[in-house]
């Protein structure tokens, strides 16, 4: 699935605005950025949102203030035909199609499309036991997003998932903050590390901050999955565009993550192949501080440590002091025994 250590998901979500031309363009932009998957959202609005549900503050900023949350989201639904179109386009350009299903019919739709090898439990469904039970009966690898959660919420969800037969090694818990965009002081990235320790699961990070530095930092702290919203243009109307990366930013984030993957290494401290050639240049050897005559004792006064490091290491300084020079040495000459 992913040849790299970190699985990077470009979250297109509903940033297609219900327009398949935009959705296809998002697929091509995600592929060009080098991500592993592009993720959309599959839902029937009436099954998830009541007529009385209010919009979040961030949604009010870039959508019609007179419409309800239900009316806003209904315009962003993807039909069965839309799903087929998106899947075909992903297959054509060579990127994994991924989607979060918010209701039972949408879960079944993704299963029928044969794209349900990974299932995503979004933050808003962590306490939705009927939803989790239905999803877990599919026996797939699970990404559990944890915006708005306490450790207790996460523990309860994992207990339900495990009870239905999904082992912890198939669960990746994504740390997340459900605010768009997320203020830096609310990220609490170290919570991701503690989630991994508390539950013995793989961890990842679903990011809503501006910029690219926080997901890159998450990888340095051990994230195995990164999810990041992106758009073709942050100025487009719609609930999520303002908290999304534009294509060139997404590309820069991917490159940063891949660089960190390489930089993390295997944890064994040893000279790297690229620096070995510099070792004799940068290290030092014991040399004559001034001319030394044969038979003279080596001392603190007639020895120094200088480059290059091709002679006796200064780590043997105490072994050399007090010994007798077997021949004459000129100033700066490497000492030999």
Equal CATH topology for 7-264 and 273-320: no
Q: Are 146 and 123 in contact (CB under 8 A)?
A: yes
Torsion sign (Cα): 296, 298, 302, 307: positive
User: According to the model, what pLDDT value does residue 1 have?
Assistant: 38
Q: Are 216 and 260 in contact (CB under 8 A)?
A: yes
- CATH assignment, 7-264: 3.20.20.70
User: According to the model, what pLDDT value does residue 186 have?
Assistant: 98
For the chain, which residues make up each domain, given as ranges?
7-264, 273-320
Q: Are 145 and 175 in contact (CB under 8 A)?
A: no
Which residue carries 């992913």 as its tokens?
2
DSSP-based helix, strand, coil % in the chain, nearest 5: 40, 20, 40
Predicted TM-score (pTM) above 0.85:
yes
Q: Tell me the β-bridge partners of 230.
A: 245
Instruction: Of 230, 221, 309, 229, give the one whose Cα is nearest residue 260.
Output: 221
User: According to the model, what pLDDT value does residue 68 have?
Assistant: 87
Which pair of structure tokens corresponds to residue 237?
């109307």
User: According to the model, what pLDDT value does residue 56 have?
Assistant: 82
Q: How far apart are CA 179 and CA 190, in angstroms?
A: 18
Q: Which residues of 144-158 are buried (b: 16+ CB within 10 A; e: fewer)?
A: bbbbebeeeebebbb
Instruction: Of 147, 80, 67, 70, give the one whose Cα is nearest residue 113.
Output: 80
User: According to the model, what pLDDT value does residue 53 have?
Assistant: 87
Residues of the chain under the 70 pLDDT cut: 1-4
Q: What class does CATH assign to 273-320?
A: alpha beta
């Amino acid at each position: 699935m992913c040849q790299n250590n970190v699985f990077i998901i470009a979250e297109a979500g509903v940033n297609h605005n219900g327009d398949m031309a935009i959705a296809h363009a998002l697929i091509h932009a995600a592929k060009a950025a080098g991500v592993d998957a592009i993720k959309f959202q599959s839902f029937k609005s009436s099954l998830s949102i009541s007529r009385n549900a209010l919009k979040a503050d961030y949604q009010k900023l870039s959508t019609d203030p007179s419409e309800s949350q239900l009316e806003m989201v209904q315009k962003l639904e993807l039909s069965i035909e839309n799903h087929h179109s998106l899947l075909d386009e992903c297959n054509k350009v060579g990127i994994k199609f991924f989607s979060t299903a918010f209701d039972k019919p949408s879960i079944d739709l993704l299963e029928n499309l044969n794209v349900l090898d990974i299932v995503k439990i979004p933050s808003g469904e962590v306490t939705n036991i009927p939803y989790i039970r239905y999803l877990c009966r599919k026996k797939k690898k699970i990404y559990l997003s944890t915006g708005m959660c306490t450790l207790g919420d996460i523990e309860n969800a994992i207990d339900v998932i495990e009870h239905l037969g999904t082992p912890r090694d198939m669960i990746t818990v994504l740390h997340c903050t459900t605010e768009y965009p997320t203020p830096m002081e609310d990220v609490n990235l170290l919570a991701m590390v503690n989630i991994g320790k508390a539950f013995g699961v793989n961890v990842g990070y679903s990011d809503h901050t501006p910029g690219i530095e926080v997901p890159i930092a998450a990888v340095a702290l051990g994230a195995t999955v990164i999810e990041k919203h992106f758009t073709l243009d942050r100025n487009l109307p719609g609930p999520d565009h303002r908290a999304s990366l534009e294509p060139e930013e997404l590309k820069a984030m991917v490159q940063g993550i891949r660089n960190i993957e390489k930089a993390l290494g295997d944890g064994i401290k040893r000279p790297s192949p690229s620096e070995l050639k510099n070792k004799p240049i940068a290290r030092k050897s014991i040399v004559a501080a001034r001319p030394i005559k044969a038979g003279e004792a080596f001392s603190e006064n007639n020895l120094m440590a200088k480059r290059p490091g091709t002679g006796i290491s200064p780590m043997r300084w105490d072994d050399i002091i007090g010994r007798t020079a077997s021949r004459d040495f000129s100033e700066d000459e490497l000492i030999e025994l």
